[in-house]
Amino acid sequence: MAILIDPPRWPAHDTLWSHLVSDDSLDELHAFADANNVPRRGFDLDHYDVPAARHDDLVQAGAVPVDGHELVRRLIGSGLRITARERAERRLSPEGDSRRS
């Protein structure tokens, strides 16, 4: 199983951002993020947002660089993908996310 990262291309807060995902489990993703000092506040239901300045460090730590299409394809294949509609529903729901592991 793999931790994947796409190229930094999403602009926000005066930088570009990448997405960091697991193609296996959120436990694997959180463990990798924790081991590499990626703040939990960057987690967004099925991925971490990471600034461009961290991209190369995370690749060196073992994240596999893939293009955005491959990242989404693998995330969907893992069953971990959260759709935009699910995102909106979860943000409105007091229960939050039940797929934490």
DSSP conformation class of 19:
E
Backbone angles phi, psi at 67, to 5 degrees: -75, 170
How far apart are the two ends of the chain, measured CA to CA in Å?
A: 15
Give me the residue label for tokens 């993908």. Answer: 81
Residue appearing with tokens 């961290």: 54
Q: Is the full-model pTM beyond 0.95?
A: no
Q: What are the pLDDT digits (tens) for 67-84? A: 999 999 999 999 889 887
Q: Which helix (H) or strand (E) holds 83?
A: none
Q: Is the pLDDT of residue 44 over 80?
A: yes
